[in-house]
Chains A and B, each alone.
Chain A
Amino acid sequence: MGKVLALKGLSKRFGSVQANEAIDLDLNKGEVLALLGENGSGKTTLMNMLFGHYLPDTGSIDVADRQGSLQPLTLGHPQISLTKGIGMVHQHFTLAENLNALDNIVLGTEPLISFKRNTGSALKKLEKIMHETGLFAPLDVSVGKLSVGERQRIEILKALYRDVRILVLDEPTAVLTPQEADDLFDNINTMAKSGLSVIFISHKLREVLSFSQRIVVLRQGKKVGELVTNKTNESEIAHLMVGGGVKSAERETCTPGKAVLQLNQVSITGRSKRDSLFDQSLEARAHEILGIAGVSGNGQAALASLIAGLEVPENGSILIDSSEIEKPTPKKMIGAGVGRIPEDRHHEGIIGTMNLADNLIIEKLDDQEIQNFGILKRSKIKTNAAHLCKSYDVRGPGVDAEARLFSGGNIQKMILARVFEQNPKLILANQPTRGLDMGASAEVRRRLLDARKNGAAILLISEDLDEVLALSDRILVMHDGNLIPAETRDRAQIGLLMAGTAA
């Protein structure tokens, strides 16, 4: 097996952050390599340099040409990387939803100024690829109407259509059910056997161990390990990835108290099944974490909007502490003692161009503590903010700085401060650790467990099944707008429920 790719001494610095430092990496023909590391360890930066999105500060890249001999790659030009046979499937899909799959795939592969598209030959080539790899997707439907899994297959087909010899997949399973993920890796293996070289970026130890041949581990921008998959084990790579620093939170036993949140047969009809809720009931009790597992896009958004007060249910009722909330609004929910940690913290959670202190008071503008007859108490707001930053360990350029200047982890801690400061009875935690590094994630989990100990009910919505399993007292699985109680804590069993295929 010949080498198809050699990264040599790649370094990249963004401002004060050394994103990558002198990284070497080789890839062989037909190999599946896992690039493992936690959020912020520099995986995506490295691959973006390979793909030409970023120009490295130092280092070089050699890529095999069609004959298999290594040639230096001109750096910093995605177009050149594409023509040298490097394809990348981004975590956020780069598909135009108003075009069908075929047009998306063909886009940019033929001259723009032409009287017609050569759909015939493209279709023939794609059908051949689909049969060889087992990646099937409808080609003549607007991408906007397709499922996440189908879109991902189209992304991969897009790369294969360009005859890539090296395929990079960035966190490919983040949006898939465990079974879909298994299918994807089956397809990847088929492709690798026919000579394609694959790098997949992941932070999930389980899939890295099951589906790669070799593992490269990054930590804080440096390569800290290179292992052959069948000669290593979970604890070894976990240790390499984290550096042994972070302890997982201790979960004490608690006896659940009375029901804090009750949903009785509520329905929300969204634009599709995926953001709807059908006649669902649930109960979350004090001293309890109720985990909602499921692939995102199965109604979690509707459930979260409902509890955040953004949606009014078409029928059914919501009760907090046994009293019904009629026509819920965010204000009523906050008033009833619901703390909400939003899914998209940058978009829903903060106003990036307002300062941190202002972001901390945004949910309690009517409170006499911060205003007098409608006039803001500026100095009080500032000292409160400084105090909260200290007790919740929010670090950054200061309470007067715009919130957008803080890192994701610190923004999340700011939101935690805002929420926990009000001693909520119920906490909606929607994807609370998504995109955070392990330190910040552990902090978030510790705070949630503390709140549980102090008597709050917590509704944890997460697509990270490991997180749900680690934190929850009870688990519901969400699929197509329905909530199904998980009888066991068995991954496979829950996976089947997530896919909607269990009896």
Chain B
Amino acid sequence: MIDILNILLSESFWAASLRIASPLIFGVLGALLCERAGVLNLGIEGIFVAGAMAGWMAVWLGAGLWGGVFFAMLAGAALGLIHGILTVPLGLSQHVSGLGVTLFATSLSYFVYRTSLPAVSSPPRIEPFRALDIPILSDLPFVGPVLFQQTALTWLALLLVAVIWYVMNRTPLGSALRAVGDNPDSVDAQGLSVYALRIGAVVAGSSLMALGGAFLTMSAFDAFFFGMVNGRGWICIALVIFASWQPGKALLGAMLFGAFDALQVRLQTEVGALVPGQIFLMAPYLLSILALVIAARRADYPRALLTPWFKGQR
């Protein structure tokens, strides 16, 4: 028990939690934008892969780190556009289209990676984002090491939580997005375009998801591996329900998740001899399922989620 307490009080633990949470924050915010507008985006897992690949490759080809961020988001936006067109004006099954985008994005990323780098035994590395070290502030006790061990992308993730909260709750665009996910007719009757709002939300949300992937190759690691996303996208889909589609709760959910994951890694080193390591590896997925089971009945789903809307039919 004392050990767990020691872990919970350590700076490195919280720094690790925030690091693990960062890609999830991007992913949950992206899923939140799509679903608030009424579109489930199961392309998320593949968009993570594509973002990871595109960002990494852009940097590797010399585009610079922020260039990598740009290309990752561009890849995400393009995939989001495919999903948006298939599900919004064409009104096709959001489940199937999303899975199709995931399969497409994943296989395309792998194909491009394999084709560009045919036979390398160890993946080439890039120089990833470094921790933002702000003098004086990073010397603060506890907070300093936790926050100032993080890279610019983690800061961006935290900033986006605030931005998206503000946009959703305080601007006309946010009202329109929430309305289109609740009752598209309300938006249509006021002369706004349901299609533009929904596709826009899916494109923007998808580029955030791609950022989550880019975090993996450009901040957490410095290379691209097959299978590196490993279900993080699906975890975000569970977390967004847990978060009731609220940006603040999304941050909380991602942090809880990161903390749990960081804790299990540390526990593993402590009790690793007693329990097979795989028990700990399963934990994040089981935890997500648990979160879903707890939250599902109480969740206040956007009413028009999964329901296609066609112009001129009411």
A and B touch in their complex, CB below 8 angstroms:
yes
Q: Is A407 an interface residue (CB 8 A)?
A: no
A117 with B312: CB separation less than 8 A: no
CA distance A109 to B190 in the complex (A): 8
Q: Is A1 an interface residue (CB 8 A)?
A: no
Q: Is B264 an interface residue (CB 8 A)?
A: no
Restricting to A90-113, which residues have a CB under 8 Å from any CB of B? 90, 92, 94-99, 103-104, 106-113
When the two chains form the complex, which single residue of A79, A90, A113, A115 contacts B191, counting CB atoms closer than 8 Å?
A79
Contacts of A103 in B (CB 8 A): 175, 179
Contacts of A116 in B (CB 8 A): 170-171
Restricting to A70-90, which residues have a CB under 8 Å from any CB of B? 78-79, 82, 88, 90
When the two chains form the complex, which single residue of A53, A78, A99, A110 contacts B182, counting CB atoms closer than 8 Å?
A99
B187 with A92: CB separation less than 8 A: no
A94 with B185: CB separation less than 8 A: yes
When the two chains form the complex, which single residue of B172, B182, B185, B303 contacts A112, counting CB atoms closer than 8 Å?
B172
Answer whether A90 and B189 are a contact pair too, CB < 8 Å, given A98-B303, A112-B173, A113-B173: yes
B172 with A96: CB separation less than 8 A: no
CA distance A106 to B192 in the complex (A): 12
- Label chain B's interface by main secondary structure: helix
A107 with B185: CB separation less than 8 A: no
CA distance A82 to B191 in the complex (A): 8
Q: Is A114 an interface residue (CB 8 A)?
A: yes
A94 with B188: CB separation less than 8 A: yes
Give the Cβ gap from A217 to chain B, nearest Cβ, in Å.
25
Contacts of B180 in A (CB 8 A): 96
A124-140 toward B: CB 8 Å interface, digit per residue (1/0)?
00000000000000000
CA distance A104 to B171 in the complex (A): 13
CA distance A117 to B170 in the complex (A): 7
A110 with B183: CB separation less than 8 A: no
Complex: chain A residue closest to B313, CB-CB = A53
Complex: chain B residue closest to A92, CB-CB = B314
The size of the chain A interface, using a CB distance under 8 A, is 29
Q: Is B186 an interface residue (CB 8 A)?
A: yes
Give the Cβ gap from B89 to chain A, nearest Cβ, in Å.
17
Answer whether A117 and B175 are a contact pair too, CB < 8 Å, given A53-B312, A54-B312: yes
Contacts of B188 in A (CB 8 A): 78, 94
Contacts of A108 in B (CB 8 A): 176, 187, 190-192
Complex: chain B residue closest to A112, CB-CB = B173
Complex: chain A residue closest to B303, CB-CB = A97
Restricting to B264-314, which residues have a CB under 8 Å from any CB of A? 302-303, 312, 314
B314 with A107: CB separation less than 8 A: no
Contacts of B173 in A (CB 8 A): 112-114
Contacts of A90 in B (CB 8 A): 185, 189, 314
CA distance A54 to B314 in the complex (A): 12
Q: Is B178 an interface residue (CB 8 A)?
A: yes
Contacts of B312 in A (CB 8 A): 53-54
Contacts of A115 in B (CB 8 A): 170-171
Give the Cβ gap from A116 to chain B, nearest Cβ, in Å.
6
Contacts of A88 in B (CB 8 A): 189
A99 with B175: CB separation less than 8 A: yes
A96 with B191: CB separation less than 8 A: no
Answer whether A96 and B171 are a contact pair too, CB < 8 Å, given A108-B187, A108-B192: no
B314 with A114: CB separation less than 8 A: no
Answer whether A107 and B171 are a contact pair too, CB < 8 Å, given A53-B312, A98-B303: no
B186 with A95: CB separation less than 8 A: yes
Give the Cβ gap from B62 to chain A, nearest Cβ, in Å.
34
Give the Cβ gap from B193 to chain A, nearest Cβ, in Å.
9
Restricting to B172-208, which residues have a CB under 8 Å from any CB of A? 172-173, 175-176, 178-183, 185-192
Contacts of A114 in B (CB 8 A): 171-173
Complex: chain B residue closest to A109, CB-CB = B190
When the two chains form the complex, which single residue of A78, A82, A98, A111 contacts B178, counting CB atoms closer than 8 Å?
A98
Contacts of A106 in B (CB 8 A): 172, 175
B170 with A107: CB separation less than 8 A: no
B179 with A104: CB separation less than 8 A: yes
CA distance A88 to B191 in the complex (A): 12
Give the Cβ gap from B302 to chain A, nearest Cβ, in Å.
8
Q: Using a CB–CB distance below 8 Å, which chain A residues touch chain B?
A: 53-54, 78-79, 82, 88, 90, 92, 94-99, 103-104, 106-117, 158
- Give the top 6 A-B pairs by smallest Cβ distance, nearest first: A108-B190, A96-B179, A94-B189, A94-B185, A96-B186, A96-B182
Q: List 29 A-B contacts (CB under 8 A).
A: A78-B188, A78-B189, A78-B191, A82-B190, A82-B191, A94-B183, A94-B185, A94-B186, A95-B183, A96-B179, A96-B182, A96-B183, A97-B182, A97-B303, A98-B178, A99-B178, A104-B179, A106-B172, A107-B179, A107-B186, A107-B190, A107-B192, A111-B172, A112-B171, A112-B172, A112-B173, A114-B173, A115-B171, A117-B172
